[in-house]
Amino acid sequence: MSNIEEVYEAEGELISVKDLSFQYESFKRNVSNDYIFENLNFNIYRGEFICVMGESGCGKSTLLNILAGFEKPTSGSILLDDVEIKGIDKNRGVVFQKPSLYGWYSVKKNVAFGPTVLKWPKDKIEEQVDYYLKRVGLENEGDKKVFELSGGMKQRVAIARALINDPEILLMDEPFGALDALTRESMQKLLREIWYTSGKTIFFITHDVDEALQLATRVIVLGKNPGRIVSDISLPFSRTIIEEDSNKRIYTEEYFEYREKMLDLISIRNNKPLEMSI
Amino acid sequence: MKSRNRYVYISVIVAISIIVVWYVSTECLTVSELIFPSPKSVILAFDEVLKSGYKGYSLWQHVLDSLKRIFEAFFLAAVIFVTLGLICGCNPKLRAAMEPVITFIRPLPPLAYYSVIVLWMGIGDESKVTLLFIAAAPPIYVSCVEGITKINADYINAAKTLGASKRQIFFKVILWAALPDIFIGLRNSLAGAYGTLVAAEMVAAMSGIGWMALDASKYLRSDVIFVAIIVMGITGLLLDEILKTIDNKIIYWKGKE
Ligand SMILES: Nc1ncnc2c1ncn2[C@@H]1O[C@H](COP(=O)(O)OP(=O)(O)OP(=O)(O)O)[C@@H](O)[C@H]1O
Ligand SMILES: [Mg+2]
Residue B164 reports pLDDT greater than 60: yes
| For ligand 1, atom 3: residue with the closest CA | A24
Evaluated on CA atoms A37, A215, A184, A146, the torsion sign reads positive
Residue B92 reports pLDDT greater than 60: yes
pLDDT in tens, A52-73: 998 888 899 999 999 999 999 9
CA angle B73, B76, B80 (to 5 degrees): 140
In DSSP terms, A145 is beta-bridged to A106
Distance CA A235, CA A238 (A): 7
pLDDT, residue B4, reads 62
Nearest chain B residue to A104 by CA distance is B253
In DSSP terms, A231 is beta-bridged to A221
Count of A–B CB contacts within 8 Å? 69
Q: Is B159 on the interface with A (CB under 8 A)?
A: yes
Buried b (16+ CB within 10 A) or exposed e, A38-52: bebebbbbbbbbbbb
Distance CA B4, CA B238 (A): 17
For residue A214, the distance in angstroms to the closest alpha carbon of chain B comes to: 27
Across A210-214, B2-6, B63-67, B195-199, least confident range: B2-6
For testing the chain B interface, which of A65, A66, A67, A102 should be mutated: the one with the most B CBs within 10 Å?
A102
For residue B193, the distance in angstroms to the closest alpha carbon of chain A comes to: 30
From B154, B162, B257, residue closest to A165, measured CB to CB: B162
Distance CA A77, CA A21 (A): 9
pLDDT in tens, B7-65: 889 999 999 999 999 888 888 887 787 888 888 889 999 999 899 988 889 999 999 99
CB contact under 8 A, B159 and A161: no
Q: Which residues of chain A have pLDDT under 70?
A: 1-11, 26-33, 246-249, 268-278
Q: How far is the CA of A126 from the centre of ligand 1 (A)?
A: 39
What secondary structure, in 3-state letters, does chain A show?
Answer: CCCHHHCCCCCCEEEEEEEEEECCHHHCCCCCCCCCEEEEEEEEECCCEEEEECCCCCCHHHHHHHHHCCCCCCEEEEEECCEECCCCCCCEEEECCCCCCCCCCEHHHHHCHHHHHCCCCHHHHHHHHHHHHHHCCCCCCCCCEHHHCCHHHHHHHHHHHHHCCCCCEEEEECCCCCCCHHHHHHHHHHHHHHHHHHCCEEEEECCCHHHHHHHCCEEEEEECCCEEEEEEEECCHHHHHHHCCCCCCCCCHHHHHHHHHHHHHHCCCCCCCCCCCC
pLDDT, residue B132, reads 93
Distance CA B192, CA B139 (A): 8
Q: Is B250 on the interface with A (CB under 8 A)?
A: no
Residues flanking ligand 1, CB < 6 Å:
A 24, 26-27, 36, 54, 56-62
Distance CA B51, CA B97 (A): 53
Distances (CA, A) of B160 to A60, A114, B102, B252: 21, 9, 32, 25
pLDDT, residue B64, reads 94
pLDDT in tens, B124-158: 889 999 999 999 999 999 999 999 999 999 999 99
Please give the share of chain B, as a percent, with pLDDT higher than 70: 98
pLDDT, residue A1, reads 40
Residue B253 reports pLDDT greater than 70: yes
Picking from B151, B149, B137, the residue whose alpha carbon sits closest to that of residue B103 is B137
Distances (CA, A) of A126 to A120, A130, A131, A149, A155: 10, 6, 9, 21, 20
pLDDT, residue A246, reads 67
pLDDT band, very low/low/confident/very high, at B238 (cuts 50, 70, 90): very high
From A98, A102, A161, residue closest to B176, measured CB to CB: A102
On chain B, the residues whose CB falls within 8 A of the CB of A69 are 160-161
Residue B166 reports pLDDT greater than 70: yes
Distance CA A175, CA A95 (A): 7
Q: How far is the CA of A243 from the centre of ligand 1 (A)?
A: 37
Q: Is B161 on the interface with A (CB under 8 A)?
A: yes
Q: Is B248 on the interface with A (CB under 8 A)?
A: no
pLDDT, residue B67, reads 93
Evaluated on CA atoms A121, A124, A130, A132, the torsion sign reads negative
pLDDT in tens, B170-194: 999 999 999 999 999 999 999 999 9
pLDDT, residue A23, reads 87
The ipTM assigned to this model is 0.85
